Structure 1
Amino acid sequence: MLKFLLSDNESLAKYMHGKFASFEDVKRRMLLKSRAQNPAIPDHLYRLDQQEAFLGIESLSEILTKGFERIAFTHLELNANRVYVKPEQQNHWQEIITFIPPLLLQCAFLHKYMYTNYSNCKTDESERHKYFKDYILPNTRYTAIPHARIPQLEHYVKEQNGLHDLHMHLNGALETDQVWQDYLFNPLGIYKDLKKGFMIPKVKEQMEQESHLLEPLNYVTLLKSAQKLRDYFFYYLYPHNNHKYDNYDKKSLLREFISNDSDISGSYKHPFLSLITDADDYFCLMSVEGLMYILMLDEISKTKNEFLANLFHFYLLILGLTNRLLVQQTHQNGFEQFQKHTLNGLRENSENIFLRRYYQMHGNDLSYIRFLEGRFSPKDSQKTMITFLRSIFKGWDKMIQDISLDYNNELESVRMKPQLRLIAHFIKKADNKPNDFIRHKVLRYDIFQRAKVLALLIKNHPDYCKKIVAIDAAASEFDAPPEVFAPVFRKMRRAGIKHFTYHAGEDFYHILSGIRAIYEAIVFCDLQKGDRIGHATASGLSPMQWKNNIGCKLLVKQGDYLDDLIFTYHLIIKRKIESLNSILPFIINKVSELSFLIYNKHFPVAILEKAWLMRQCCPVHALESDRENLILNNIYDEEEWCFIINNGFVNSRNELKNDKAYKLLKTYHNLNNRSGFDKIISIDPFDILKAEDVELLQLELLHEMTKREIVIETLPTSNVRIGFHKNYSTYHLLNWVKWQEEGKSIPPIVVGSDDTGIFATNIYNEYANIYCMLLYTHNMPHSKVMKIIKRLDEDSRIYKFE
């Protein structure tokens, strides 16, 4: 229940209206927040939970001191001067820090555990500097996210000189406690970003979902309030004469803090920085914030000053609101919730410089990463692309230079410097301006232009050949299918790119659609040995678990469901799945029914199957009969003109006009038929294929991937938040492990962190989450867990893109 302390919008609104939140207010709201997570549980059980949570807590000051301490001491432990997550709590800790940023919890822990040994820290400068240097800085220098102390994993990481992170997006990387410093330093920048974000419907939806307070000006006023509160905390702890706060009473002070008469463009400096240094040390601001937390918690703990507790509570609620905009919460399930974080642009100003991101993901000891594949979106001009790439590598080179200075001569010979490679990911976008004859025409032209720029860059600047090692397609699968990207993937392979990966099967309406997306990405985009699929959740998720999440009825587009059944028919026939032959007549009947509803004509299933497979052809080329007209088009490509013939769909272009599948392909693309395709229908998700049948399809797909040596990129925290999981206990990696032990064909699996800021993680913690899930939830012995960990990292070493 206490984890909701920073999710209390009602108390935040009260402060904004010049009123104080009481202990009873907060206690009541924690019960209601907890109850909202599962309203099926009766109140009398929640009241027992409330009694347990608030045992020994009788005031707001005790909520902030004892409350945060309880959470911290439940999850954290100390070894020497370093804070670690208790291994048995690692998976739960990953959820807790979606509610409360980890810096605050670390400081609540350090205050209670260590502050007694530095009793004069507040007033004695030398003692304060020593405490800061010995305890705060080592735990918060680059990241505030601690990791579990797992001797076997720590030894392995040290022995291997770090881990391989093979799926990490360079945007969405900075953690909340870093970004928070930037917000208070420059409220004007976030105001502009928030105004821009409000123009995007999904972003506005996110804002209204998380708080009714989030009009851009209201939020910036809150940031200015946080600035003033910081200043007051410093004044209170270190009073000086003739300060403007000297003559304020409590109500006047609160009114001063919430007034919006301040200039949001003015410069601002963290007042507590002066306790540590006279310099504007940008890189230690997160640690300075931690010092402020500890000093405030100590003061409130000693004095029981309820007024000061109220103001600190107000400050932390503003931080909590910010955190919900930056980190995907446990209640924000699914890809669209994740996408709102990527669209809101609230990290843009903070992520202009790459160096902080690299330090953060490499850990406070600069030991997490051995090999990083960073993903970026290619630009639409060569000049913009070069400028962007230079900034990426400038930050990386600076980090390598800095950490090389820290290596002594003995370590230099054995400690490998981390390596960075880049993957250009094309962005899936919705078809908001539909063309009459070609689906996703605007997007196809856009990614073709970006691919052309990227190909020219690689040709004209050979040094980038070694740095940009692969191509990807990312973002929402609901917006664009693999067929849109297939021509561009082929173009980039011809341009000399050797490696390819594709986000597929991450989120879906029907689990069959997720399985189909993985298959289409492999076949349509011609993925080859050593290429990879990002996420591939649909190939491992338990079908029954999925059904239990979505219920007995499912709304789908009837065209998508038709495609799912055509794909199922295709896989059963191609893979000769004899145990599913008995359902083929039911599939064929349903396919016939749906195709008539969509196209107003019955088609044999073989024609529908061929037309579906023909979607991998570029429609700009395949549907154009006049080559000369096409040559005038800047998207013309000779290989794509010949693709439909060279891949055996027809023997010559003259045959196209009489080919039934080709005619159906044109019908599929024609705008007049899309309303039937997009019509929403309600189905029983297991009306034809039962859960065990879907599992057979999963295994056949995995066998096909194994045969082709297509690798899976699994991303633990991302998959738990976006996939159909409540927590790590059902994380589908376990199914892949179990099936492999049963002798099933499972392809190689590698690990990534995805978006380290949005998911509040890093590659070390992703391995720790896997380790602790297997050990503590599924009771595997240490030796077996380490064998799995080593296999994952070994696959990452083998299948990294170089």
Structure 2
Amino acid sequence: MHNLDSILKIYFKNTTAKEVLEGTVSYNKYPPEVFQKKAMMYMKHYSDTENEGLYEYAQEYFHAYAEGAFRQREENVFCALANLADNLLIMQESKVVCRYERFVRWRDVTTDIDETNLICAFLAQRTASGMECYRTFLWDNTIGHNNTQLNRILQRGLADNHFHLFGSAPVFELSWIQLMQNVNDKRIRDHLKKIDRARRSSYTYNSVQDIRPSLESQHLQAVLIRAVLTLLLWEEQGLISSARNLLERYGYADHALGAILRQQNFLMDEKSNIQALTEDIKNIAAYGTKLGDYDYALYGTGCNADDQELPNLIFSGDRWLIYSLLKGLYSEKRYNDRVYDWLYAYLLIKADIRSEIVQINDNIGLDNFIVYSKRKSGFLNGKNMVKNMIENAVFSDRKNMKSLEIRISPQNTAYENAVMISEYIRIIGRTDGYRLSSKEWFYFVFHFSKCQDQLPDRENYTGESCRHYQKRSSLKRQAHQIIRFRNQYPGIAGKVLGIDACSQEIGCRPEVFATIFRRLGQHVCEEGLEYEVPQLKKTYHVGEEFLDIADGLRAIEECVRFLNMQCGDRIGHGTVLGIDVHSWYKVKHNTIIIPVQDYLDNVAWMYNKIIEFQIEGCDILRDYLNKEFDFYFSELYEKNIRSQHLTGNNFNIYNYYNAWKLRGDEPSLYIDGRFSKERYQNAGRYVVDHLHRENRVLRHNEECSLLYYYYHYSWDIRSQGTKRKEIHIPQFYIDGIEKLQKAMQNFVSERGIGIETNPTSNYLISVMNSYEEHPILRFYNKGLDADYEEKNTCPQLFVSVNTDDKGIFRTSLENEFSYLAASLESEEKPNGEKKYNRQMVYQWIDDIREMGIEQSFLGNVEEN
């Protein structure tokens, strides 16, 4: 990591507003003992002596920059911010962009330091240096780079085939505006308290006695500081006559304000007063511009009601505030030191709250992501905010978009689905009444959520509820209403082209969704409808999180097999298909923690797949798997199967695997311990898997039907199966998994099933350390890798690059492609030579761009 980046992270991430407000540090005086203590905590790759030298280097370096760039005698944290911004950013065609060769570095830096701070510092120092006077603040929330060739490739057209609507909104930026306008809103206070009880950020306390201020008190500090700073700037612009008079009325003038900000308990008593001041400021802004309803700070930007459709306008207020103050600091029109300490504290509070809404920590796994995902709408309410979320999610990447697949949750009734879709289309603004244009660039996919199974208490268990009984019942109701929606509202339903299931994989396997996916996928609308309603395509989040690579690979086959996926359907993420097997187990120290039921399933599945795929060199592994099966089957099943069912039945690894093949069937068909023809005839064709003909025989196999029955209806097996075991993974197991992974890649490739990769999402959730390690390079390397063996063994899968939840992961579709390209261009061979040719990288990017368009569920995208 660059030392400059690490120093700025200490200044703007690892410092607290409390330290600034109490005088431990200030914007222009950062004591060496404080710096070195933080460096010891956050820069552990350096010794104490090296960190001491680093402090001295930083002081000299930033002093020289401040003197050269701003003719100032003393360095400060904001000069350091401008230095870093100058190092990373450049103007191109009147836009702020990142220098392409530093684009991945920019991604790393802005994980901890908000892009807004760096861009404002960059623009302010340019203005202060006489280069230009910057007056608009409409840049994208995630800016691009200055690589003209790559940009032009991406301008040919893109498709985002994995885009969760509300997870794609700039949630923090919208939340911050709400937070700064509202103090007495109980919903906001309750959400702050809820987050406070489960903090995710990695701030380390300076000592045991260092009590972290509550988010609620920091919120109040930020609201008050922002109000004061805004009034000072308005006074300078001549928008108000006297900021001091208004502040004195509330007792917030001069030194009194500093004392109030330092006293957390007193601050909490000031809530009503702070809200009253905020309302007065909002009234001033509303009188000056109608845009004050969104954010009072917009009054200072000079925008008016005619500008309200401009992209990113809603974020301009905070940008104007930071830019204006820094412009004064970098020039000779600076305010007093107290003002810049308040600005410093304000940015640190903003960074602390941002770290709880945007996923910036180092934790891996879907659990970590889900925590952030659930927080995304806690501060946002009202129709205007929903509208802003949708507009910012959809249009921030619109410029090159040929096809956008918008994922949304289905509602409870057909009518509610129709109303929701109609409203979303109206907001996006591309309809003519209910008659949709034949050349649309967006469509919707209903995504169902996964959840953990809930086993009833033994005394309440009647033996009639299968695994995920409640979830399956809910899904059936939703599916029924979606079919009604398609038949009753064809003009709107024609915009919903697919179905998906998302969220946490572990504990909720594809079998749960099998019957409804088949039912919805097979549904054909009634003849004679005014509008054409196409059959629903399928996509499914799978292979993203797993307890063992075998577990993830098995989930891939379950998805394809049980959901009856066809050519043109897709798998979301699928990282398990391409992740480096040996690296994954190394990170896990060759040990997994896994429920007994899952381990037993994996063992039987692996054993039989090695035979089916004719994988050579796995004799030792097969013997090992057979012994593991015998032991765990005996422990879990034989002890809990009734004696009359044990007599005369041969339960072995083969018929256990065959019973697994039936898990796509409706469980209630086996509730009597055998397949019931009567129940099947009274249900519907979709309740069993007709695609795989072998299942017709297996359903009437006594061992298979009994094993399927016990899997679903034995309370003891279900209960004991959830108990976790620590399993040491031997090297021959890992070698076999690597071969099995390659076979599963070919399994997916042969069926023409697409893979939706999401580079940043996959990078942050998995155990990858860089974009170069992303599985997409093992999925598709045509034209990229000159090594014959690498090209010949690559499955050349049908892949696309997408964003997933771009608001939570701070990305855009163009940037997803660019992170991959920049990472590959910088990768080196052991001898220091470049591993990939630049033009080969761009051709590879263009190929994947085109495949993304081909993956779209829309018709002929190229005509749109």
Indicate the TM-score class for this superposition, using the shorter chain for normalisation.
0.7 to 0.9
> Aligned-pair distance for 1:584?
1.1
Answer whether contact 1:423 1:472 (CA < 8 A) is retained. Answer: yes
Matching residue within 296, 313, 316 for 1:284: 313
Query: 1:446 is matched with which residue?
Result: 474
Following superposition of structure 1 onto structure 2, how do residues 586-735 of structure 1 map, counting pairs within 5 Å?
Answer: 586-601=624-639, 603-623=651-671, 637-641=683-687, 643=689, 647-651=693-697, 655=700, 659-669=702-712, 670-686=714-730, 688-690=732-734, 692-735=735-778
Letter in 1 for 2:173: D
> Aligned-pair distance for 1:793?
1.3
Judge which range, 220-229 or 770-779, deviates more.
220-229
C-alpha change, 1:600 and 1:474, in structure 2 (3 Å) is same
Following superposition of structure 1 onto structure 2, how do residues 252-401 of structure 1 map, counting pairs within 5 Å?
Answer: 252-257=256-261, 259-260=267-268, 261-263=270-272, 264=275, 267=279, 268=282, 269=292, 270=295, 272-277=297-302, 279=304, 284-301=313-330, 302=332, 303=334, 305-344=336-375, 345-346=377-378, 348-349=380-381, 352-354=385-387, 357-359=390-392, 362-363=395-396, 366-397=398-429
Query: 2:69 is matched with which residue?
Result: none
C-alpha change, 1:40 and 1:13, in structure 2 (3 Å) is same
Matching residue within 777, 780, 786 for 2:842: 786
Q: Could you tell me how far apart the structure 2 residues matched to 1:645 and 1:662 are?
A: 19
CA deviation string 1:662-684 (max 9, x = no partner): 22222222222123212222222
Secondary structure at the counterpart of residue 705 of structure 2 = helix
Following superposition of structure 1 onto structure 2, how do residues 121-520 of structure 1 map, counting pairs within 5 Å?
Answer: 131-133=134-136, 136-137=137-138, 140=139, 143-158=140-155, 160=156, 162-175=157-170, 176-187=172-183, 192=187, 195=190, 204-206=197-199, 217-218=216-217, 220-234=219-233, 237=236, 240-241=241-242, 243-245=245-247, 250-257=254-261, 259-260=267-268, 261-263=270-272, 264=275, 267=279, 268=282, 269=292, 270=295, 272-277=297-302, 279=304, 284-301=313-330, 302=332, 303=334, 305-344=336-375, 345-346=377-378, 348-349=380-381, 352-354=385-387, 357-359=390-392, 362-363=395-396, 366-397=398-429, 419-432=441-454, 434=456, 437-496=465-524, 497-520=535-558
Letter in 2 for 1:298: K
CA deviation string 1:462-492 (max 9, x = no partner): 1234311111110011241111111111111
Judge which range, 346-355 or 94-103, deviates more.
346-355
Secondary structure at the counterpart of residue 132 of structure 1 = coil
Answer whether contact 1:157 1:368 (CA < 8 A) is retained. Answer: yes
Identify unmatched segments of 5+ residues in structure 2: 1-5, 67-72, 205-210, 283-291, 525-534, 640-649, 829-833, 859-864
C-alpha change, 1:322 and 1:208, in structure 2 (3 Å) is closer
Identity %: 20
> Aligned-pair distance for 1:699?
1.0
Secondary structure at the counterpart of residue 298 of structure 1 = helix
Query: 2:107 is matched with which residue?
Result: 94
Answer whether contact 2:355 2:361 (CA < 8 A) is retained. Answer: no
Q: Could you tell me how far apart the structure 2 residues matched to 1:474 and 1:450 are?
A: 15
Q: Could you tell me how far apart the structure 1 residues matched to 2:576 and 2:89 are?
A: 34
Answer whether contact 1:536 1:712 (CA < 8 A) is retained. Answer: yes
Following superposition of structure 1 onto structure 2, how do residues 7-46 of structure 1 map, counting pairs within 5 Å?
Answer: 8=13, 11-14=16-19, 35-36=40-41, 39=44, 42-46=47-51
> Aligned-pair distance for 1:702?
0.7
C-alpha change, 1:463 and 1:723, in structure 2 (3 Å) is same
Bigger radius of gyration among the two:
2
Letter in 1 for 2:119: Q
Judge which range, 219-228 or 367-376, deviates more.
219-228
CA deviation string 1:213-259 (max 9, x = no partner): 57564354245334434435426745843524468665411234462
Q: Could you tell me how far apart the structure 2 residues matched to 1:172 and 1:347 are?
A: 14
Q: Could you tell me how far apart the structure 2 residues matched to 1:300 and 1:489 are?
A: 60
> Aligned-pair distance for 1:276?
3.3
CA deviation string 1:476-524 (max 9, x = no partner): 1124111111111111112243311111111222122222222211112
Query: 1:413 is matched with which residue?
Result: none
Query: 2:78 is matched with which residue?
Result: 65
Q: Could you tell me how far apart the structure 2 residues matched to 1:374 and 1:313 are?
A: 39
> Aligned-pair distance for 1:648?
4.0
RMSD of aligned C-alpha atoms? Answer: 3.5
Answer whether contact 2:515 2:688 (CA < 8 A) is retained. Answer: no
Answer whether contact 2:183 2:271 (CA < 8 A) is retained. Answer: no
Q: Could you tell me how far apart the structure 2 residues matched to 1:400 and 1:36 are?
A: 59
C-alpha change, 1:759 and 1:55, in structure 2 (3 Å) is farther
How many residues matched? Answer: 759
Secondary structure at the counterpart of residue 534 of structure 1 = strand
Judge which range, 108-117 or 214-223, deviates more.
214-223
CA deviation string 1:385-405 (max 9, x = no partner): 22221222112226999xxxx
> Aligned-pair distance for 1:277?
3.0
Q: Could you tell me how far apart the structure 1 residues matched to 2:173 and 2:475 are?
A: 35
Answer whether contact 1:173 1:757 (CA < 8 A) is retained. Answer: yes
Identify unmatched segments of 5+ residues in structure 1: 122-130, 402-415
Answer whether contact 2:573 2:757 (CA < 8 A) is retained. Answer: yes
Secondary structure at the counterpart of residue 145 of structure 1 = coil
Q: Could you tell me how far apart the structure 2 residues matched to 1:216 and 1:399 are?
A: 43
Answer whether contact 1:4 1:34 (CA < 8 A) is retained. Answer: no
Judge which range, 755-764 or 247-256, deviates more.
247-256
Q: Taking structure 2 as the reference length, what is the TM-score of the superposition?
A: 0.80
> Aligned-pair distance for 1:535?
0.7
Answer whether contact 1:702 1:746 (CA < 8 A) is retained. Answer: no
Secondary structure at the counterpart of residue 579 of structure 2 = coil
Secondary structure at the counterpart of residue 271 of structure 2 = coil
Letter in 2 for 1:243: N
Q: Could you tell me how far apart the structure 1 residues matched to 2:804 and 2:97 are?
A: 23
Answer whether contact 2:228 2:247 (CA < 8 A) is retained. Answer: no
Judge which range, 460-469 or 537-546, deviates more.
460-469
Q: Could you tell me how far apart the structure 2 residues matched to 1:213 and 1:235 are?
A: 33
> Aligned-pair distance for 1:764?
0.8
Q: Could you tell me how far apart the structure 2 residues matched to 1:294 and 1:100 are?
A: 15
Q: Taking structure 1 as the reference length, what is the TM-score of the superposition?
A: 0.86
Answer whether contact 1:556 1:682 (CA < 8 A) is retained. Answer: yes
Query: 1:407 is matched with which residue?
Result: none
Answer whether contact 1:230 1:271 (CA < 8 A) is retained. Answer: no
